[in-house]
Amino acid sequence: MNTPNPLGPKASRIALIGECMIELQQRADGSLQQSFGGDTLNTAVYLSRALGDRATVDYVTALGDDSFSDAMCQAWSEEGIGLGMVQRLPGRLPGLYCIQTDAAGERRFLYWRNEAAVRDCFTTPAAAPILAALPEYDVLYFSGITLAVLGEEGRKRLIETLVEARERGARIVFDNNYRPRLWSTVEQARTAYRQVLPYVDLALLTLDDEQALFHFSGSEAVFAAYQQIGTPEVVLKRGAEPCLIDCAGERFEVPAQRVQRVVDTTAAGDSFSAAYLARRLSGGTAVQAAEAGHQLASRVIQAPGALIPRD
């Protein structure tokens, strides 16, 4: 059970890279409740809550100079998330999405994000000092959605940064989060994923996404592929089914926590990833980390929206 931890004994500075959007949650009566969300932002919030003052959690993105962007920054600051790596682009806006849920809590998303400021996150002149600062972090976290929204040039600069960061001892964490609608073709997505995976130390994967993107036959095929890549730690999230872990050649299966009523599955995987990472960074075993991930996710899916109240 004392398997090696690829994240190392200490990680005090963590940067999460991605997109936060305006979130509209449709209620049963048709009204809309407005908040903010996005996969890596959700993880950043839950990670900051879990680690508290034991680590610095910064978010790396680009926003506009509008009131919604102001409100996002205020909300992140209140969650203890650092804003020093957030660009504010004049005249631009954040993306927007609406969540519709059915009686079983399953989600349908409607997006307005093609002109979102984050698409120029790594291509503006102001991005140069941010890219230069990223290799100084202990942990860099990003997702498949991050790869998609950055665009080709942004992805290229991110990969260059990951290479330099790893050479300096940073650890790379990746959540696959494959969303077909964000890519022109499946081959474009596969190419982007294959470019970054060799630099990943901890892969937090959703089995359904792996099968949709790479057509793996099942969990064993996924593990075999990542063993060939050389990824030290791979976690397969499988919804209500037990998650599977391959860590330094050892396999573990950790049951999910059952809940009586699922309200909204938004951010279930994001919160699992946050709790898993927080526990690993605090010295916990992979199994303990998965148990923490399941516990938090079980709470999140019993409330509407991506972010549950702090209490």
Which of helix, strand or coil describes residue 251? strand
Helices 144-167 & 39-51 angle (0-180, nearest 10): 50
Question: In angstroms, how far is CA 155 from the centroid of its own chain?
Answer: 16
**What backbone phi and psi angles, to 5 degrees, belong to 97?**
-145, 155
C-alpha–C-alpha distance, residues 6 and 171, integer Å = 8
Cβ–Cβ < 8 Å for 22, 94? yes
Is 201 assigned a catalytic role? no
C-alpha–C-alpha distance, residues 189 and 134, integer Å = 24
Instruction: Report the phi/psi class of residue 249: left, alpha or beta, with left for phi > 0 and alpha for psi in -120 to 50.
Output: left
Half-sphere exposure of 7 (CA within 13 A, CB side): 28
Which of helix, strand or coil describes residue 223? helix
Q: How many residues does the chain have?
A: 311
The H or E element spanning position 222 is helix 219-229
- Which is catalytic among the residues 138, 209, 246, 270? 270
* Residue 250 one-letter amino acid: E
Instruction: Report the phi/psi class of residue 121: left, alpha or beta, with left for phi > 0 and alpha for psi in -120 to 50.
Output: alpha
- Strand pairing report for 243-247 and 250-254: antiparallel
C-alpha–C-alpha distance, residues 290 and 233, integer Å = 12
Closest listed residue to residue 71, CA positions, set 46, 120, 36: 36
Q: What is the DSSP letter of 53?
A: G
Among all residues, which ones are annotated catalytic?
270
